[in-house]
Amino acid sequence: MKTFSSIIEQSAQKSILVTGCDMYTGYMIAHTILKEKSGHFGKVFVGFYKENHLVHMLKHDGAEPVHLTIDNCDKIVEAYCKVDIVVVMPPVSDEKWHHGDPCVFLHAAEKAKVKGLVLCSKINIKELSNMPNLKPLCKMEEGFAKIKDKVEVASLVRCSVHIDMLWLFRHQIAEKHRLCLPAKKDAKFAPLVETDAAHGLCNMLLDPKLPPGIYELTGPDVVDFDKVVECVSSAIDEDIDYNKVDRHEMVEYLKHRKEICSNGAEFIGDFLEAVSKGLLTKKTDDLHKMLGKAPMSIQDYAQKNAKDFKPHSF
């Protein structure tokens, strides 16, 4: 069976493009490739809709940035023609996310004769397809199903909730000793850590023992927000309260902080609503297999990042 690693081995240019690098997940994948896997790739291109500090950091690390938009398929094809492998992070930051056709990021792979294609999606997306900010992602999975046999190697990587979203609320935790989200305190989910997901995906690209296919990545434990607050409280040695708020309050908080785009804030809102409805309780061993070790737990994450939830960190 052909693998991503065999494509890289046989290529003279050994190049890769990661789209959606103006948002944290795309950034972390590209960052991991640049920092830890750079010996395997000649050129690393990073696609973005809006140039921001994440793109600037990747450029500083040696990436070649390229502006890609839903309404310019020709530009996407042109960028894809330069690489062997494309990792498609959904273009959530694009202003056409709701009203355009994000599947152009997949169709372009066939037009450019890309050899390897990865689509990053979310766990249980079909159950989430009635949510307006997640509906385009469901459409992208349908597009992937049509295109996957037209490239040499293709994988669909679905992720659960990234616990790293807590970082967006670090001011709230540090200054007010509370976490306010539009989800029930006892809502169950299996959160994963962004760095684990990025390393797992990179391993899939480079390890011949990890075949292409569908991977569903979750954390090692099913927890609720009561447990999350308990872990953060223990890590920073402060009592933290959890308050359920309406969605609008949380979205406005994120927009006011300007650390995430408007679409991204709404995307998180939909995902937390799904958590509250019990739609993201699934736990798998896929990430463990990709990493070759147990993924980081919420306790480990809180301890490792405790400084981010203290006032002197910002």
| Encoded amino acid at 196, one letter | D
Q: Indicate the helix (H) or strand (E) that contains 16.
A: strand 15-18
Distance CA 190, CA 162 (A): 9
Predicted local distance difference test score (pLDDT) of residue 289 = 97
pTM: 0.96
Q: What is the pLDDT, as a whole number, of residue 7?
A: 97
- Other C-beta atoms lying within 10 Å of the C-beta of residue 238: 14
Q: What is the mean pLDDT of residues 226-241?
A: 96
In this prediction, residues 54-78 reach a mean pLDDT of 98
Least confident of 32-41, 159-168, 176-185: 32-41
DSSP state of 162: B
Q: Which CATH architecture has domain 163-189+220-281+294-313?
A: Alpha-Beta Complex (3.90)
Give the angle subtended at the CA of 278 by the CAs of 144 and 90, to the nearest 5°. 25
Q: What mean pLDDT do residues 276-284 have?
A: 95
Mean model confidence pLDDT for the chain: 95
pLDDT recorded at residue 314: 56
Integer CA distances (angstroms), 162 to 6, 148, 217, in order: 30, 26, 10
Question: SS3 of 17, please?
Answer: strand
Residue 259: per-residue pLDDT: 82
From the list 1, 2, 57, the residue with the least C-alpha distance to 28 is 57
Average pLDDT over residues 19-37: 95
Is the per-residue pLDDT at 20 higher than 90? Answer: yes
Q: For position 88, what pLDDT does the model report?
A: 99
Q: What is the pLDDT of residue 310?
A: 85
Amino acid 117 reads L
Q: Which residues contact 10 (CB under 8 A, 6 or more apart)?
A: none
> What are the structural domain ranges in the chain?
4-159+193-217, 163-189+220-281+294-313
CB distance 102 to 113 below 8 Å = no
pLDDT at 213 (0 to 100): 97
What is the predicted pLDDT for the residue at 313? Answer: 58
- CA gyration radius, the chain: 19
CATH number for the segment(s) 4-159+193-217: 3.40.50.720
